[in-house]
Amino acid sequence: MEQKFREFTKTDVSLAVKNHYRKMRQNQTFDYVKRMHNKYLNFNNPMELWEAMYSLDNLIDVSDPDLDLPNVQHLIQSAEAIRNDNRPDWMQLTGLIHDLGKTMYLWGCDKDGTSQKEQWGLVGDVFVVGCSLPESCVFPEFNKLNPDMENQKYNTQNGIYQDKCGLDNLTLAWGHDEYLFQVLKNHKTNDLPEEAMAMIRYHSFYPWHTGMSYSSLLNEKDKQYLEWIKDFNKYDLYTKSNKTYDLDEIIDYYDPIAKKYLGDTLIYW
Ligand SMILES: [Fe+2]
Ligand SMILES: [Fe+2]
């Protein structure tokens, strides 16, 4: 039987997934996201890229209904699928690192939703904060639990944003995507193409890339972004399997690619 992915409505979808999304919707307000930017985007924790990869051997993403392997396995599965399709080396590297922002759990806490136990500020589909929540959000019944939806400043279609301001001017719910994007933007050498940085930043933005919401906020450039993200999403989603890899065995192949695009792989988190 063909394997299906992201079936959030099936009856056996774990209670943990549903609880995760309830907490995420309740807690991810505009003010919360701004606080997290201030708290986590300081880039004063040096850690080797490969050490960060190893750290994801101890993290299982609670929001993912399709995979209960350590996250590092998902990263290797994605990268290896991109490599098998003979896609460019930068895209293979992007597959390998796209979820590396989850390493935030190492210095996260339950209160922020950034810990091993509480992951609602770390993983899961993201949405825009500062404007109304679309029905395309997973578990849309939780939208009304978001305190910003009571605030006239934030509960209209465009909220605080200008019409057609474009994706890069929106503030998204806090999580591993924006975190890694900002960490890599701050990294002293970053020759990753714009496509890679967009894939990293927007891959969890399902209400946009799959739900097709937020059309009043998008600009011309975002059409290009959508093509890139759709292309990447195949590898993020459809490569999930029980096949496991040994990280030590794939480092030799990927390390030169990481050095080619990032220079020194000591990263400031
Ligand atoms: Fe992700
Ligand atoms: Fe992923």
* CB 142 within 8 Å of CB 189: no
pLDDT at 173: 98
**In terms of residue numbers, what domain contains 137?**
22-268
- Residue 21 CA to ligand 1 center (angstroms) comes to 15
pLDDT at 11 over 70: no
* CB 176 within 8 Å of CB 206: no
Q: Which tens digits make up the pLDDT trace of 207-221?
A: 999 999 999 999 999
- Residue 177 CA to ligand 2 center (angstroms) comes to 9
Ligand nearest to the CA of 96: 2
Residue 17 falls inside a structural domain: no
Residue scoring higher pLDDT (3 or 39): 39
Ligand nearest to the CA of 102: 1
Domain tally, the chain:
1
pLDDT at 8: 74
Residue 5 falls inside a structural domain: no
- Residue 142 CA to ligand 2 center (angstroms) comes to 23
Residue 231 falls inside a structural domain: yes
- Residue 67 CA to ligand 1 center (angstroms) comes to 12
Q: Which tens digits make up the pLDDT trace of 179-188?
A: 999 999 999 9
pLDDT at 74 over 90: yes
- Residue 16 CA to ligand 2 center (angstroms) comes to 18
- Comparing CA positions, the residue from 172, 190, 153 lying closest to residue 268 is 190
Residue 10 falls inside a structural domain: no
pLDDT at 237: 87
How far are the Cα atoms of 70, 75, 83, 136, 262 from residue 243, in angstroms, in the given order? 12, 12, 16, 31, 28
